[in-house]
Chains A and B, each alone.
Chain A
Amino acid sequence: MAELTVEETAPAALAPLDVAALKPDFPVLNQEVHGRRLVYLDSAASSQHPRAVLEAMDRYYETTHANVHRGVYALAEEADRLYEDARRSVGRFIGAPDPTTEVIFTKNATESVNLVAASWGRKHLHEGDVVLLTEMEHHANLVPWLMLAEEQGVELRWLGVGDDYRLDLAELEELVTGVKLVACSAMSNVLGTITPFAEIAAVAHRAGALVLADGAQSVPHLPTDVQAMGCDFLVFSGHKMLGPTGIGVLWARRELLEEMPPFLGGGGMIRDVRRDGFTTNELPWKFEAGTPPIAEAVGLGAAVRYLEAIGMDRVRAHEVELTAYAQGALAGRFGEKVTIFGPEGTDGRGGVLSLAFGDVHPHDLAQVLDQSGVCVRAGHHCAKPLMRRLGVNATARASLYLYNDEEDVDALVDALAEADTLFG
């Protein structure tokens, strides 16, 4: 295989990212829409794929495909090896102490939360038990708990968002009393706020609660270490971190996974099936019923190797720099006409810029920007309780990733100026 190892390609510590050299790795970015260069600023919704990921998946289908965990022939053994290699790569990427048992492949972060809610939640949460959420959660980390609240009478508490767009940690000590689980985003998909997860986890653990980190936004953009974060559960999606759709991850501490009942039932997750019952397979397969997304796992493995080769510290440093540039460019050009719903500066915030622009509705803004080739998302971003807290129905959100550069931000600013002309 022509893939380079991490060691061979690892750059000098924190050398700036050469985006011009990296962009050609992403074929989709090399096109025009409406006669303008495509400027992709929607990576918080879904990111694009480097050739390394596409080729890994093609190669798998062209040379290897067979079902996993079943065959004794060479092809199936190779499929097995690639699938489990991907698991190890993903585990290493998040600092999992025991990747081969603790990394569960799911469909996406949403399914991972549902797995925890349906398995751990149904077993451990009963009427009157409390789950602490935050006002900035994505629906993926809200609705599964609302479902448990309806089903089992679980009580939900909410940690608020302050006027600085950060979690109101002063309330945490009081709110966490008697709580069994704190389910909290590590980085907001609307505000870009990076939550002090390790601090929250420490407070939660002192109060006897477990913690679930929604890493859908943080894992693609920040160095991740589940042990340093103090996670009990971490969920994330492959398609927001250069990987394909259809694959997500649940990482959890082994002791928790061992005593959790299975989530979906079917082939692969059993040790034995009799007419009167079944016993479950060992970890991690106990939670992987049915034929898994094998090519997608292989693609995700290639994605994390691509990110590792660049270095997540450098990805983060690049996004900090670009976010600061964008904040300056937007404020410089439009002054008070533009509102950015998110923390000021770049400390504790990622490259997610949720905008209000004068009186122009976000939907109209996104439409006008599209005519300039600029892709942003308009809407509630699956965070309606947060939208209510912000007092808006929708925002227009530009989100940055490693393949974006100052030219992309300039294109955004120029397109906003066109919207200003049209609606001003």
Chain B
Amino acid sequence: MNGLEDLYREIILDHYRSPRNRGELESPPAQRVEGFNPLCGDEVVVYVQVDGDRVTDIRIAGQGCSISQSSASLMSAAVKGKTVAEARDLIRTFKAMMQVHEASLEGDGGEAEAVDPEALGELAALQGVVKFPVRIKCATLSWNTLTQGLDEAEAG
């Protein structure tokens, strides 16, 4: 099972088995955005409630693999209560972590944005995903969907 424990950390399995902020929000007022991974058929629905400049509530629905579901759960816990700007920073940092592998594969790893795992807290558990390039899309699905939700909320 070498290598697998990097992917399936205990925190990830915990969020997969007991997902946080699972459910729906009334939309409107919340934004409801769907994300699909056409390769595996996974789908995520992100409900995000933005009041003023703050993400006051978030719910996750849909179904998918342990990586996509735990990533969505960890994301929901991380952004709830944050300002929209902080949430966007977090999205940027998380996606930079997910890009490290692709960059280093191309031999220009030095150009990848340096990521401080401290800034990511529990989310750093998903770092192991970069060793499994096919799964990166699973991990980033909910984050891309949230970005769309925040864009729509701001466009209002």
A interface with B by C-beta (< 8 Å) = 34-35, 361-364, 367-368, 371, 378-380, 384, 387, 393-394, 418, 422-423
Contacts and interface: CB of A to CB of B under 8 A. Distances in A.
6 contacts: A362-B65, A363-B135, A364-B65, A422-B1, A422-B8, A422-B13
B3 A363 contact: no
Interface string B124-135: 000000001001
Nearest to B69: A361
Contacts of A363: 40, 42, 64-65, 67, 135, 138
B4 A393 contact: no
Given A364-B65, A423-B66, A379 B1 contact: no
Nearest to B134: A367
Contact of B41 (A367, A368, A380): A380
Given A363-B135, A422-B1, A422-B13, 10 more contacts: A34-B2, A35-B2, A363-B42, A364-B66, A368-B4, A393-B41, A393-B43, A394-B41, A394-B42, A418-B1
B63 interface: yes
B2 A361 contact: no
A361 B65 contact: yes
B39 interface: yes
B79 interface: no
Contacts of B4: 367-368, 371, 422
A367 B1 contact: no
B1 A371 contact: yes
Given A361-B65, A363-B42, A371 B2 contact: yes
A362 B66 CA distance: 10
A238 to B, nearest CB: 24
Contacts of B66: 361, 364, 423
B1 A361 contact: no
Contacts of A361: 64-66, 69
B7 interface: yes
Contacts of A394: 40-42
B13 A387 contact: no
Interface string B37-48: 001111100000
A35 B2 CA distance: 10
Interface of B: 1-4, 7-8, 13, 39-43, 63-67, 69, 132, 135, 138
A367 B40 contact: no
Given A361-B64, A361-B66, A422-B1, A367 B39 contact: no
A418 B5 CA distance: 12
A422 B1 CA distance: 9
Contacts of B135: 363, 367
Contacts of A423: 13, 66
B41 A387 contact: yes
B40 A371 contact: no
A363 to B, nearest CB: 4
A393 B42 contact: yes
Contacts of B65: 361-364
Contacts of A34: 2-3
Identify the interface centre among B1, B41, B42: most chain A CB within 10 Å of its CB: B41
Nearest to A361: B65
A150 B60 CA distance: 35
Contacts of A418: 1
B1 to A, nearest CB: 6
B39 to A, nearest CB: 7
A384 B41 contact: yes
Nearest to A421: B1
Contact of A371 (B3, B39, B64): B3
Contacts of B63: 393
A337 to B, nearest CB: 16
A21 B67 CA distance: 41
Contact of A367 (B42, B64, B132): B132
Contacts of B132: 367
A384 B38 CA distance: 11
Nearest to B41: A393
Contacts of A422: 1, 4, 8, 13
Contacts of B64: 361, 363, 393
B2 A379 contact: no
Given A34-B2, A361-B66, A379 B40 contact: yes
Nearest to A418: B1
A322 B71 CA distance: 39
B39 A379 contact: yes
A420 to B, nearest CB: 12
